[in-house]
Structure 1
Amino acid sequence: MSDLFEDGPLVSNAPEFSVSELSGAVKKVIEGEFGLVRVRGEVGRVSRPASGHLYFALKDDRASLDAVSWKGQVAKMQTRPEEGMEVIATGRMTTFPGQSKYQLIVEDVAPAGAGALMAMLEKRKAALGAEGLFDPARKQPIPYLPQVIGVVTSPSGAVIRDILHRLRDRFARHVLIWPVAVQGQACAAEVAAAIRGFNAIEPGGAIPRPDLIIVARGGGSLEDLWGFNEEIVVRAVAASRIPLISAVGHETDTTLIDYAADLRAPTPTAAAELAVPVRLDLVAALEALGARQARGLAQGISLRGQRLRDLARALPRLESLLAQPNQRYDAASLRLAGALSMAATRKRAGFAATAARLRPAALLTLIAHKGERMQTQADRLSAAQRRRLERHADRAANLSNRLAPALLRLIADAARKTAEGRTALAQLDARLQTAPAQRYDRLRQRLDALDRIRSTLGYAETLKRGYAVVRGDGHVVTSKAAAEAAVSLEIEFADGRLGYAKPVVKRSKSEGPDQGSLF
């Protein structure tokens, strides 16, 4: 009876499938149930590879369906799907076992109206436009040659390399890069913060304030570029006091930041071209203007020289101009002799009158007065000299009284510095005595470490792990052909070497070549 209640292994009657069998069964079910379907949805993530096939996605607010249209079907389509369109796609459902997913093979596409994202974009564009954020009157002029350019983009993409390369080719400028995420949820907040950050830089500070801002990103789908349609970014661009160029996406891509920016560039590379002129063109234009200036100066000088010669011919002759002045000069020279005689007579009469008033007593009185005045000044000078000598004597006495204590202080300072110097010298001597021994110990430890490394990395350690070195005729042998060609072989093991010399075997011509034997 005990055998009736013994537990045995449970055997399931469910059939077993291989992965391929199960995938094939799912494929048959889906293709059988959905042979021909019409699906309405918004187009997203359109991809056109070089093969000519068309890959895109159909989506609504809750789900997304991958779709593919082969090259021949794409050529027959009246309307090709574009991102953001709402379409009705006709095709058949199938599976792709290699990636364990299902997809729609689209045979025809018909437009069904604007997509939800496009409708939202148009509504937001109309609301912001009504506030005047897109008004052309508020756009600022782009500086002709900015000294500093601020770039808001991803630091790891090809966009920043293209911008820097084009700026370097046209006219190298100082560039400040503000790294941001150019897609995803963090894109809008980071781009708006970067624009406000550039505007917050004070002129003349440690970080130069940009004269121009470029907001750049490469092309992508409507979802990838959606961050540049956010209201926070549009308002930051409109509030920027620094002129701003929008270079988001390719030429066919349009975002709301393009309407709010002071200038829109079709590509990031074109933004760099719009930001700065070509330096070589400016140099050529400057040289042309210099040449025109030189030619204008030469022509002006020539015209003025001709004008001067024409005016010179209209002037009267030199003799006629000097005739009357010469006549007046001759008349004046004739009157000069009489005038000199009359002037000398008048001066002599005035001198005689003055000499008559000059008496010896007046001279003596004047001399006495001058002598008294000189004596007064001499007395004042002597008194001043005595006072000055007394002040100098007092100052010398004060200095002599202060000299002895100062000399004692100097001697004490010199003794103290000498004692400190002896102490420092003793310490240096002690360090000098111990330094060679310490350096010798460090060098010996380093040499021991290098010797241990040499022993570890040497081939002798490898031999201890069961390897051997084969030498033929004194050289290391690394192939069978070289070992067969060698006359003598030597095998080195970890505990010694084993030598072997091949025997010379004479054989007849009819015999084949002797291959020899290692042992």
Structure 2
Amino acid sequence: MSDDSYIFEGDTPSEPARDNNPPQSVSELAFALKRTLEDRFGHVRLRGEISKVNHHASGHVYLTLKDDKAAIDGVVWKGSVRGLGVRPEAGLEVIVTGKITSYPARSSYQIVIESMEAAGAGALLAQLERLKAKLHGEGLFDPAKKKPIPAFPATIGVITSPTGAVIRDILHRIAERWPCRVIVWPVVVQGDAAAGQVANAIRGFDALPESKTGGSGPIPRPDLLIVARGGGSVEDLWCFNDEALARTVAAERIPIISAVGHETDTTLIDFVSDRRAPTPTGAAEIATPVLSDLRFAVSDLDRRLDRAGARLLDDRRTRLRAVARGLPARPEELVAMAQQRLDHASSRLASGLHRNTALHERRLATVGGRFSKGLLDRAVERRGDRLSAVGARLAPPLLSRLNRAEDRLSGLARALNSLNPKTPKPGFARIDDAEGRMITSAAALAPGQTVSLVFPDGARGARIDGGANLTIAGSNPAPTPKPMPKPKPAPLDQGDLF
């Protein structure tokens, strides 16, 4: 070892030792690890049990995947939540696909989940049981909330795929049993988008306006809805176990029949719908009566009504005869005396009416004799004399007032005539323009304008020359002021000679 390797007390090195590995910042190391993880584990598939699920208000879902020995945090971004095959719930075993990344702020790694599916049928059924227990606890399965199925629907809405045997079976069964209007809302019945489309169709039918007057618009509101799909595996029918779809079915105002799968298949909407059908064809049979059976039933009721009426008449006739046998005499004899009294009374009625009319006629003649033409004339004369006397008293004052009013009116008419500019007075003339309008001011006249001078005895034409001041013949013009005499100049002062 050389002497340069020792540093004695009191000595200081001349320069720091050189280092070929410069230090990194924490951020540089964290983001370098992040890039390494994303490059190495950009696509992974994990199987595990979900725990600690947090549906954040932002729409992201944070969870933890674990098995019996390890755990990893996971995140599902908002845009990927709707595309998940199952809803993340604690205790559900799933298979997820995504990429491994890190969260530098906490120096932890996590998986960004892009897709999720149940690990098996057992996991799906376990999730279904938990959801059923939740909705049952909220009362969505309560039989008291089930709406009755209408006995004679006029319009039926069917929500199913427009292709396939299901819709054909339903339409054929309805046509042969109860011909009515059927409205089909086409949807997909399998896959991630199926639950949303079925829920939108149910809400769309429910939003149609109800007919208040019995008429129907372009799209009538159905009296009944059928949600139908053919059979399939648990995974194929899983869209009908969606919680949002189940809540939409439970809140629907129109009665709903669920017909999803075969008789052994059970989905969540079977519990919240108003009636479950084993098959789509069974749903059509539940929704409609048989028209031929109804016609036969009506005919049978009509025949029974006729027979019942006949039996009722026979029973009343028999009872009447039995009662008649208990009378002291025959019914005809009991009625004969009353009938005879009625005949006598009716025969006297005509003569009584004639006597009553004659009596009133005599009374009218007696009263009418008191009135005569002379009596009426004297009454009219008395009224005329009274009217003449009243007129004689009122005539002089009225005539006097009328004369005074007439004199006053004549005076006002004369004054009005004297002030009327349309009527020229002697010594005056009215000036009119070429259109016959009266000129009322000098400002309305222009040099060279043609006017008419209207006199009491006629009119003459004239032309304006434009002069402002004219001397009228016979008038006395204002005297012209005389010029003041000029003062005489003072004589020159020549001085004194002496």
TM-score class, shorter: 0.3 to 0.5
Higher Cα Rg, which structure: 2
Normalising by the residue count of structure 2, what TM-score does the alignment of the two structures yield? 0.45
Give 1 or 2: higher helix fraction: 1
Normalising by the residue count of structure 1, what TM-score does the alignment of the two structures yield? 0.44
